[in-house]
Amino acid sequence: MKNKTVNWGIIGLGNIANHFANDLALIPNAHLRAVASRTKKKAKEFAEKHKAEKAYGSYKKLLKDKTIDIIYIATPHDSHAELSIAAMKAGKAVLCEKPLAVNKKQVKKMIKTAKKQKVFMMEAFWSKFNPSVKQSIELAKNGRIGEVNYVNADFCFYKDAPPESRMFNLDLAGGSLLDVGVYPIFLAYSIFGKPKEILATARFHDTGADIQTAAILKYKKGIANIFCGFVSESDTVAKIYGTKGCIYIDSRWHETQSFRIIDGTGSNKMQEIKVNPTRGKGFTYEIEECMQCLHNGQLESDQWSHKNSLELITIVDEIRAQCGLKYPFE
């Protein structure tokens, strides 16, 4: 059973699906069985490039393929819930891109479906499995830099795209918060848990999508300062501070290869710690986690559980409520 081949399907053949498929090819026993696009031509080209056996010109056809064990969903955020639920109802395990869905209500429905259908489901929060991010969080939580009381993390890039693109189109839940803001929120949540208080504000595109969002998350023993945006670059170094030192997760921190630490034990100099470079782009670790969970018969990951996804989107919902950010389909 341990060496059993797992047949993967991919839905939505855009930018991230390409990176994911490259990494999938690096995993022994992971087999790209089929891919699905809204157009047959694109599916065929993608299948040829990534050596998938089958190319479907419709998502529904892939759902009906009985040979597929798990489906990776890589469409814009607005369709994550609907497609994941359809896949689970078809008896498939699901790895769905972040954010798992656009709001708490949708995430709850997805979790309910996973439980009812008794299938595995995980949000593809790849940073959770990045070796340097993982080690940084572990060190911070194990007291290596004393009592952690401040996290400062951002994720910005300059995006020049038409208003109808998935980045700015509100019908597709566009905007920086759901696209990249979830990463700094994830880091704060991984260190501190659920915030006691949130203060948030945002600036908006003409479409209504957020282009800069800032939030202060307050906890009993600390504060996290998070920022995301599409109108400038930022240093994308995540900083975790404690009473005895600090950890810098190097840029771009969500997919980093290294981090630095001052831990108060020595010369007070930054010490760079190179964790092994990520295998592939770094999707390999979440893929392995899915395969391990399937092998164990788990319905969710212990590392990034349903509860984690639900608590994270609850924070996002509160930030959106404070910023007055609503999607037309809500």
Ligand X SMILES: NC(=O)c1ccc[n+]([C@@H]2O[C@H](COP(=O)([O-])OP(=O)(O)OC[C@H]3O[C@@H](n4cnc5c(N)ncnc54)[C@H](OP(=O)(O)O)[C@@H]3O)[C@@H](O)[C@H]2O)c1
Residues that bind ligand X (CB under 6 A): 12-17, 37-38, 42, 74-77, 79, 97-98, 124, 126, 166, 172, 179
Closest CB 174 distance from ligand X, rounded Å: 10
Closest CB 38 distance from ligand X, rounded Å: 4
Closest CB 265 distance from ligand X, rounded Å: 34
Between residues 5 and 15, which has the closer beta carbon with respect to ligand X?
Answer: 15
Closest CB 184 distance from ligand X, rounded Å: 14
Closest CB 283 distance from ligand X, rounded Å: 7
- Who's near 278: CB < 8 A, 6+ residues apart? 130, 131, 255, 257, 284, 285
Closest CA to 175 of 161, 187, 189, 154: 161
Between residues 82 and 318, which has the closer beta carbon with respect to ligand X?
Answer: 82
Residue with tokens 């708490």: 104
What's the CA gap between 154 and 228, in Å, rounded? Answer: 6
Phi and psi of 289, rounded to 5°? -65, -45
Left, alpha or beta for 297 (phi > 0: left; psi -120 to 50: alpha)? left
Closest CB 171 distance from ligand X, rounded Å: 8
What's the CA gap between 226 and 245, in Å, rounded? Answer: 20
The string over 46-84, giving b where at least 16 C-beta atoms fall within 10 Å of a residue's C-beta and e elsewhere, is bbeebebebbbeebeebbebeebbbbbbbbbbbbbbbbb
Between residues 56 and 120, which has the closer beta carbon with respect to ligand X?
Answer: 56
- Using an 8 Å Cβ cutoff, are 192 and 315 in contact? no
Between residues 126 and 259, which has the closer beta carbon with respect to ligand X?
Answer: 126
Left, alpha or beta for 140 (phi > 0: left; psi -120 to 50: alpha)? alpha
Between residues 42 and 244, which has the closer beta carbon with respect to ligand X?
Answer: 42
Closest CB 165 distance from ligand X, rounded Å: 8
Between residues 76 and 245, which has the closer beta carbon with respect to ligand X?
Answer: 76
* DSSP code of residue 98: S
Nearest residue to ligand X, scored by beta-carbon proximity = 14
Q: Radius of gyration (Cα) for the chain, nearest Å?
A: 20
Query: Within 13 Å, how many C-alpha atoms sit on residue 180's CB side?
Result: 31
Between residues 40 and 244, which has the closer beta carbon with respect to ligand X?
Answer: 40
Q: Which two tokens stand for residue 292?
A: 């391990």
Closest CB 97 distance from ligand X, rounded Å: 4
